[in-house]
Each structure stands twice: as C-alpha cells, then as structure tokens.
Amino acid sequence: MKTNETGRFLSVVNPATGEEIEKVPVSTPGEIDVTVGAARRGLEEWRGVSGLERAEVFHGISRVLRENADELAGIMTREGGKPYVENHDEVGWAAACFDYYGELARDSVGYLPAPIEPQQLALVVKEPVGVVACIVPWNYPLLLAAWKLAPALAAGNAVVLKPSEETPLATRRMAELIAGLPDGLLRVLYGAGDVGDALVRHPGVDMVAFTGSQATGKKVGRAAAERLIRANLELGGKDPFIVCDDVDVEVAAQGAVWAACLNAGQVCTSAERFYVMEGVAKDFVEASREHVESLNIGDPMDEQTDIGPLINAPGRAKVERHVGEALGRGAKLIAGGERWGEKGFYYKPTILTGVEPGTAVMSEETFGPVVPVQEVSSLDEAIEMANSVPYGLGANVYTRDFENMLRCMRGLRAGTVWINDPLTDNDAAPFGGQKGSGIGRELGREGLEAFQESKHVHIDPKVEKKEWWYPYGKGDGSGQRLM
C-alpha cells in the first residue's frame, strides 16, 4: 500500500473475527491544509447554485446510495460488526435524509419580518456558515454522516468529513459514489483524535459538528470556543425506559430488548436503564428473558443474525466492567452476562435485576446489550429516577394511559420522548439532547438552521433626513422616535 509522509496508518479490524481488513493512510497536516483550502474554493462555487439545482443533486445522491445499498451495507458490516440487515436499513435512512434536505434546500433563503416604517422592507437572509468540519462516530457511520452532510450542504456550506478511525471504509466509498458537487465541496480526512483536533483548530474551518462521547465532546467544545466558532455537539446518553402497569407486558418486553440490544446496544439512544412498575416487574423480566434467549448471535453478514459483536475489545471490557460491578453490589443475573464464541468481540444480551441506582450500569453510558431493571412504585418515582443522571438524549415510555403520556412528555428531561415506539427517528423532527447530552439539534428545520447564519437586511428606498436624527434640542419633541 502507498505510504503517506508520516507513514501512519489506521488498522481497520473486523469485530466479528478480530482480523485486520485494511490499512488506511492517516491524513497528514499538509493534506488537512490542502483539503480545507479546496473546500473553501468549492464553497464559492456552491453559493451560486440555485435551490432547485441543489435539490436535484441531493435526490441524485439519494438514488446512488439506494442503488449501492448492498455494497455499502456489506462494507459497514465487515468494519463495524452491526448486522447486515441493520446496515442495509441504515443506507436507506441516509438516503431518505438527503431526499428530505433536498426539498428543504428549495425553501431556505429566509423570510420577511414586518418593517419599522411602512415604506421600508426588512429581510432575514439565511446564509451558509462556511467550511464545516463534520466528525462522525463508528456506530452509524453513514447515517450520522448524512445527518450532518445533508443539512450542511443544503444550507450552502462546504464539508470536511472525518469518519471514526474504526470505520473509515464505508464513508470513503460513499464519498466516491457521490456526484454532482463542485470539486472540493465534500472532502474526507482519515485519522483518530489528533486529526480531528487539527481540523477543529484549522483557521479555514468555520464550524464543527460532532457526534461522540461526552469526554471528547468537551474537548471539541473547548477548542471551538477558543476560536469562537460554532459547535454542534451530540454527546450520547443514558436513556431511561419506563414500563407502566397498564400495558401488554409481552410487547413492552420485546420493545425493551430491541431498544437495549439494537446494534449490540451501541446506539447513542440505546435504552440503558429500565424502571418497571412493581405490579408487572416479575412478568416483564420473565418475558424479557425468554425473548433474549431466542435471539440469534453470530456472523453479522448472516441475515438471520440478530446480535453481532461489539466494536472492539475495550468496548466489550467496559460492558463487562459495568455488569461485574452491578453483580458485586447485589444485582441478580437473569440472562447473559458472559462472552459468546471463540473469536471476535461478542457479548451475550444480559438482563439484571435488583440493580442499585448508583452503579455504573445505571448511571454511566454502557454501550452494550444490557437490560438493568429497577422496580418502582409509581410513575412519579420513575420520572424522578429517569431525570437523575447528567444525560438527557432520549427517553422511552410504555403506557396506554393518555394522562401518563402527558405527564411523561412534560416531566422527562430529554430531547426526544418515545411513547410505545422506541428509537424511531424522523427526518422532519429535531434530534438532540438536553443537559450533558449535547448542544444543538440535528434533523428537521432546526438541523438546517444549525448550519445557517441569519443576516438582517434593512431597506428604505427613500433617501431623506430622518426626523429623529440630530439635533435633539429643538424643544418641540420632533427629535423623538416612538419604538
């Protein structure tokens, strides 16, 4: 393989086997300079492209993603370990995001507020921020890239995209497939945190959009603050899942297991804490156990596989540490709690009961297929416990009672509250967190506005002296202006 000037490479490993797939050269400081410069030149050309033309480009991107879904899903499965079925869906979701923002690109130029004087015209013009650094995690490499790329480009910006060092291959292939953009408008850089840090600190970058851990997000936010550039930060969560005593426990248990074990629990909105009403807790745990033990663990390329591996050995070690601490402090193991297979980074879906609130598995992001259950005596107690951690990305509730739905809607401190339908995102609705789960929003009109600057333009067609100008001392009050 061709070396770069530093001789540094990313080793991309298949989590299902632990074997290396490919080495990818790390982007050098010189390449970062060239890439940002090319993005700025592409930005100037993109500014002159009409909203209708942008929409056509975006729909073309959507089509090419769908046409190559099999290939892209296969790449993501090999480098990230998420089951092929889930990755194929991810490609479709990414394509849908480009379709949505393609239409918004036709209707994002601004609006007309009421003017101060009858003969005047006031405009609010929406303009691009400039060159946006988009830093994307490994768990949904194409979808979370699309959530940034599509609105940033629709708003008229240029994008420099840095995928995770764990999963650069599908992102590289997506960038190769995308056509119709000015040269330089979308570029990809490769590397770990040092490359991301250099990108955020580059003087040619005007904004950063980041998804990742809270710890890394704080570093990104500090670097952006030092340069006084805008930062959109989605920093993960510790999402609660509340089960009321008025529901079909079988359905709630299946929804809970899916919300906890999708992508082996490696979703920023994974359900990671379960608060179940005392009257149905025993039945819920038993139904969850039966469902978990029916799931297929294995080769993520097999379309019959439900649960694939964790991303790497450190990720699995963290899950083991959280589960081990809970068991050491009196929790009861109902299912799982151990590795699976002789190779790869697999961990069996795990159910725990009697978990203390202060344990890591109930207070820190686990990012693994774990269902820790705590019984509660009331909905008020469940809401209080749900709000007790410094995260607020999402929250799930199962109830048939509309009053309970309203209480949860108003009482839960989370950016998204899912009631009876966990983890369902909507391109047309904003996504993001409260408290320590981040700053800003993706998706919806809010997601577009995150990448826009608002410019107020005030026009008075009459060139004449205003009565409220100097001098004030006329004594007749004519220099006063009523506001």
Residues known to be catalytic: 234, 268
Whole-Å CA distances, 136 to 212, 234, 335 = 7, 10, 33
Query: What helix, strand, coil percent values describe the chain, rounded to 5?
Result: 40, 20, 40
Q: At what angle do helices 141-154 and 69-80 cross, to 10 degrees?
A: 120
CA 244 to chain centre: 28
Torsion angles phi and psi, residue 391, rounded to 5: -125, 160
Q: Is 303 exposed, middle or buried (0-12, 13-18, 19+ CB in 10 A)?
A: exposed
471 preceded by a cis bond (ω within 30 of 0): yes
**Structural contact between residues 155 and 108, judged by C-beta atoms closer than 8 angstroms:** yes
**Interacting residues of 339 by C-beta distance below 8 A, sequence separation 6+:** 316, 346, 347, 348
CA 328 to chain centre: 33
**Two structure tokens written together for 307:** 């649960």
Between CA 273 and CA 241 the distance in angstroms is 6
